[in-house]
């Protein structure tokens, strides 16, 4: 893989800031003023702004205080237009590990993130922030889309054992020396971490860091017979945290699952585990005619199994009706404070029974605000296991 370093541009002959420095100063000023407006400090923002401008002029970048990092990460969650679970954005715990740049300690810190977030099943919202991009020194990267994902093993006939979404990253992990798991449909992938001055390397997650929930149906043992399970913590690791012009490409974060994320998407999508035909056959449904609504009936039973199993295991999980009501409460709180609430309707409305939820009957502005979590093309390519040029 070719790495393109972020060289610092030469300063103009006039001695003024470079265009990049001027842009960074503008974004930093907007963030610092937002921080001081919502969390006022003695003296106001001007003293801090002067420090930031001096630091940018001297180094081409600046370093957030721990208070700024915490506020920025929480507001990034508040601004996440695809997330329905933002009511508790202030509860996000922030681990400041910006001093870590090498792959191995980052992988160890990711495992610790999972342990702390799992919290014995009472899932805690948590973000771990590693070193940011800086002029001449790109930040570390985590290639996995989430810290926990299941492998997808390609067979010669084109079929995939496990999760087809992760087939590319599975291929890459195998090329990098991962021996593979026991070849089940739910083998946990290793982390693929790229340190600041290193190539991508693989690190297996310790078993005690990954809590998995066996999935059983409350009325029928079919799901138990099939060996279904899913991991407890949805820790996103393929998005870039952007605060005041500073980019943190390695900043894994998590809330907790909403049941439909697993039951109506991960296990049901035709390009994922595609379990609806199997569930329908077990229920004795007519799958030859869509007018029998076999997909709808199978989808409900699959989602019942997910909710039942997480409840039985004592693992935090929201259902889509409750989470929709919570999001409306979040909207009301933010509107009362005069703050916009960006939302992408196609993500906010649950993937089943959408019209029965309160969030369906509204329109939203899908604006992307900062601070925020950004989807970068290079991160999507890494999650597919592709070696690409650094942007």
- Reduce the secondary structure of 154-221 to three states and give it as a string: ECCCCCEEECHHHHHHHHHHHHCCCCCCCCCCCCECCEEEECCCCCEEEECCCHHHCCEEECCCCCCC
Predicted confidence at residue 380, as pLDDT, reads 77
Tell me, rounded to whole angstroms, the distance of Cα 259 from its chain centroid: 16
345 is catalytic: no
Is residue 94 a contact partner of residue 70, using CB atoms and an 8 Å limit? yes
Whether 150 has a pLDDT exceeding 80, the answer reads: yes
Is residue 238 a contact partner of residue 370, using CB atoms and an 8 Å limit? no
Q: What's the whole-number mean pLDDT along residues 133-154?
A: 96
How large a percentage of the chain has pLDDT more than 90? 88
List phi, psi (to 5°) of 319.
Answer: -95, 160
Distances (CA, A) of 135 to 13, 21, 24: 20, 11, 12
Q: Which among 266, 261, 241, 243 is positioned nearest to 252, based on CA atoms?
A: 241
* Rounded Cα gap, residues 286 and 256, in angstroms: 35
HSE (CB half, 13 Å, CA atoms) of 187? Answer: 24
Whether 160 has a pLDDT exceeding 90, the answer reads: yes
Q: 25, 83, 110, 240: which one is catalytic?
A: 83
Q: What's the whole-number mean pLDDT along residues 333-357?
A: 97
83 is catalytic: yes
Is residue 250 a contact partner of residue 139, using CB atoms and an 8 Å limit? yes
Q: 165, 256, 272, 370: which one is catalytic?
A: 256
Predicted confidence at residue 43, as pLDDT, reads 80
Q: What's the whole-number mean pLDDT along residues 124-145?
A: 96
Whether 390 has a pLDDT exceeding 70, the answer reads: no
Is residue 317 a contact partner of residue 257, using CB atoms and an 8 Å limit? yes
In the beta sheet, which residues pair with residue 231? Answer: 212
Predicted confidence at residue 11, as pLDDT, reads 56
HSE (CB half, 13 Å, CA atoms) of 279? Answer: 27
Q: What's the whole-number mean pLDDT along residues 32-39?
A: 97
* Rounded Cα gap, residues 260 and 268, in angstroms: 10
Predicted confidence at residue 384, as pLDDT, reads 80
How large a percentage of the chain has pLDDT more than 70? 95
SS3 of 24-47: the string is HHHHHHHHHHHHHHHCCCCCCCHH
Q: Which residues of 377-389 are buried (b: 16+ CB within 10 A; e: fewer)?
A: ebbebbbbbeeee
Q: What's the whole-number mean pLDDT along residues 140-145?
A: 97
Cβ burial of 291 (10 Å; 0-12, 13-18, 19+) is exposed
Domains delineated in the chain: 63-383 (3.90.340.10)
Distances (CA, A) of 127 to 114, 145, 237: 10, 15, 10
Q: Which structure tokens are listed for 79?
A: 């601004």
Whether 14 has a pLDDT exceeding 60, the answer reads: no
Q: What is the pLDDT of residues 183-205, one digit of tens each?
A: 999 999 999 999 998 899 999 99
Q: Which of the four pLDDT bands, split at 50, 70 and 90, describes residue 342?
A: very high
256 is catalytic: yes
Query: Which residues, other chains included, contact 256 with Cβ-Cβ below 8 Å and sequence gap of 6+?
Result: 85, 123, 125, 233, 234, 316, 317, 318
Predicted confidence at residue 383, as pLDDT, reads 76
Predicted confidence at residue 388, as pLDDT, reads 47
Q: What's the whole-number mean pLDDT along residues 12-25?
A: 81
Give start and end residues of each alpha helix (H) in the chain.
19-38, 46-59, 66-78, 103-118, 167-175, 222-225, 259-260, 276-283, 294-313, 320-336, 345-348, 377-383
- Grouping H, G, I as helix, E, B as strand and the rest as coil, residue 315 is coil
Predicted confidence at residue 9, as pLDDT, reads 56
Q: 21, 261, 301, 323: which one is catalytic?
A: 261
Distances (CA, A) of 361 to 86, 354, 364: 19, 9, 10
86 is catalytic: yes
Q: Which of the four pLDDT bands, split at 50, 70 and 90, describes residue 42?
A: confident
Is residue 345 a contact partner of residue 287, using CB atoms and an 8 Å limit? no
- Grouping H, G, I as helix, E, B as strand and the rest as coil, residue 71 is helix
Q: What is the pLDDT of residues 206-242, one digit of tens each?
A: 999 999 999 999 999 888 899 999 999 999 999 999 9
List phi, psi (to 5°) of 353.
Answer: 55, 35
Q: What's the whole-number mean pLDDT along residues 279-304?
A: 96
Query: Which residues, other chains included, contact 163 with Cβ-Cβ below 8 Å and sequence gap of 6+?
Result: 149, 150, 151, 152, 185, 266, 272, 273
Predicted confidence at residue 8, as pLDDT, reads 54
DSSP 139: P
Predicted confidence at residue 367, as pLDDT, reads 94
Whether 391 has a pLDDT exceeding 90, the answer reads: no
Predicted confidence at residue 49, as pLDDT, reads 97
Q: What is the pLDDT of residues 74-105, one digit of tens each?
A: 999 999 999 999 999 999 999 999 999 999 99
Q: 78, 86, 141, 149: which one is catalytic?
A: 86
- Grouping H, G, I as helix, E, B as strand and the rest as coil, residue 257 is strand
Mean pLDDT of the chain: 94
Q: What is the pLDDT of residues 374-388, one digit of tens each?
A: 988 887 788 788 754
Better-scored residue on pLDDT, 303 or 10: 303
Which run of H or E residues covers position 241? Answer: strand 240-243
Whether 4 has a pLDDT exceeding 90, the answer reads: no
């Amino acid at each position: 893989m070719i790495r393109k370093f972020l060289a610092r541009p030469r300063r103009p002959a006039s001695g003024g800031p470079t265009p990049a420095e001027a842009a960074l100063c503008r974004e930093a000023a907007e963030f610092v003023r937002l921080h001081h407006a919502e969390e006022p400090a003695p003296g106001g923002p001007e003293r801090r702004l002067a420090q930031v401008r001096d630091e940018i002029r001297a180094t081409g970048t600046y370093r957030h205080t721990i208070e700024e990092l915490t506020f920025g990460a929480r507001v990034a969650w508040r601004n996440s237009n695809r997330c329905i679970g933002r009511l508790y954005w202030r509860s996000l715990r922030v681990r400041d590990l910006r001093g870590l740049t090498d792959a191995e300690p980052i992988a160890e810190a990711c495992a610790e993130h999972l342990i702390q977030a799992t919290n014995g099943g009472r899932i805690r919202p948590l973000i771990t922030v590693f070193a940011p991009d800086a002029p001449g020194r790109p930040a570390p990267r985590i290639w996995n889309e989430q810290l926990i994902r299941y492998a997808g093993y390609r067979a010669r006939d084109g079929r995939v054992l496990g999760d087809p979404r992760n087939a590319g990253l599975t291929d890459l992990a195998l090329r990098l020396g991962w021996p593979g798991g026991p070849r089940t449909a739910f083998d946990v992938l290793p982390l693929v971490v790229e340190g600041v001055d290193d190539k991508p390397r693989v690190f297996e997650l310790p078993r005690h860091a990954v809590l998995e929930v066996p999935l059983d149906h409350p009325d029928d043992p079919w799901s138990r017979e099939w060996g279904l399970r899913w991991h407890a913590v949805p820790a996103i690791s393929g998005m870039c945290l952007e605060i005041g012009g500073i980019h943190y490409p390695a900043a894994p974060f998590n809330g907790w699952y909403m049941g439909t994320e697993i039951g109506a998407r991960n296990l049901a999508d035709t390009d994922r585990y595609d379990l609806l035909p199997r569930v329908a056959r077990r229920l004795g449904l007519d799958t030859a005619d869509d007018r029998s609504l076999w997909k709808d009936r199978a989808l409900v039973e699959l989602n019942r199994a997910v909710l039942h199993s997480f409840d039985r295991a004592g693992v935090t999980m929201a259902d889509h009706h409750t989470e929709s009501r919570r999001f409306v409460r979040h909207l009301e709180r933010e509107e009362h404070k005069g703050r916009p609430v960006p939302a992408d309707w196609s993500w906010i409305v649950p993937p089943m029974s959408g019209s029965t939820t309160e969030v369906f009957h509204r329109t939203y502005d899908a604006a992307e605000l900062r601070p925020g979590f950004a989807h970068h093309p290079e991160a999507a390519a890494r999650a597919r296991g592709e070696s690409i040029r650094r942007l």
